[in-house]
A and B are shown apart, each in its own frame.
Chain A
Amino acid sequence: MNLATSEPEDEAVVRLERVSVVFPIYQAGSRSLKKRVLFHGSAGRIGRDANDQVVVEALSDVSLSLMAGDRLALIGSNGAGKTTLLRTIAGIFEPVRGSVTTHGRISPMLDISLGIDAELSGFDNIRMRAQLLGLTPATIERRLPEIAEFTELGDYLEMPVRTYSAGMILRLGFAVATCVEPEILLMDESILAGDAHFIGKAAARIQNFLDRASVMVLASHNLELCSRWCSKGLWLDQGRIKDFGPIDQVIANYTQSVVG
């Protein structure tokens, strides 16, 4: 696997080649395996590896490449591998087989509570989180007013985050994650729990940064949001790609299969 190498002639911002991610399951006994093999859902396949270890194949043979400007929606039922795919692109899980190549700064927004310290003030949490995303302390201080303004939290930023509502933490997290001008933005649906006003603002911001030619990958069950924000769709089923193409086509196929 090769992370963050630059090949000028390769235009793909994100490239996955035959990626497989397999989780070992240490709690599952041999007895329960029988049931698990017979289980036919849309979640990752459960099997055994060479060492007779119970494993879940969360992603299997996934290849895809995304160019600058691509906005990809990951759709599929629970456990289909959407979040695992996001984490694999983010470099969190190194695949057991295949390779992941990415060019540019990755800003993962998988969990809004990342690096949130409830006892620290909003400002300190912005600093903390921005540092986690790779900003230098000097850049953070320079950007702080802009980030603070986007959160619309006003005087609350002086208060410890434990006094915030979930939606307020979301605003804070989103403001920081998108202020770093990520070249690759990875988002999980849980991020998008804000109120209508905030979602509108977030959409504008995403649009804004996509104009600067970047890649976004969004994992969501909200098909309406997917078709609004994304240009491409990837339908995952049991960790395999079932369909990949223009968003409308993928959504149509997915809806048809779910209804029928």
Chain B
Amino acid sequence: MQHSFSVIICCAGVGRRLQMAKTKALITIMDRPLIAWQLLALKNVSDIRIVVGYQAHDVIDYVKTIRNDVLFVFNHDYETTGTAASLARAAKGVKDLVLSLDGDLLITPPSLQAFIANQQPLLGFVPVSTEEPSYAALNRETQKIDFFGTPASAETHTVVEWSGLCCLSSSQLQQSIAMGLDKKHVYQLIEPYLPMPSFAINAQEVDTPSDFEAAERFLTANYHLWEEML
């Protein structure tokens, strides 16, 4: 059975670590804001919700120029809440699967489409590549993410970087919210459901100035994967 998908892009944060005085969705990489690259990769998805907070009007004004069918969700408390709160707000009313990605993730269209095609709760990981990664322990045998953090044994687990990309069922999300796990980070919403199936993605997260440089290199190397979406 084909599941219905709601994609939530969390763009409410200030992006302090990047020190560009801009919300990360609007940082320009190869002449386009980061969110433009994401929306190109999501061209075939109809239900897109973008959570806005810091520089909300700038994000809205830009997104409107690309597509007008987006639902903007406000996180007015973006200074005191984290991405989990943004995700919880935007997921309200979703009946089936929720795909959540942060506004700072540059992911190639084929990779994102392959992730979506799995049609099940799933975590997207990359090899450790950013300056300040969110570590996750990938079970070598089951290929599931067993827990967030660094594993004690390299025999049983590989250390990977969780990219912030995840697919959850709406019931999982609602249970986590009911447990009060929606205050800070998305990984806290996910933890009750670990171990969870994982999926290797082709992506680069942008948290710091050196990540930004890596993102420029990533996009240059993978530009051809976006070309047919342009």
Say whether A associates with B.
Answer: no
Listed in ascending order, the chain B residues whose CB lies under 8 Å from chain A are: none
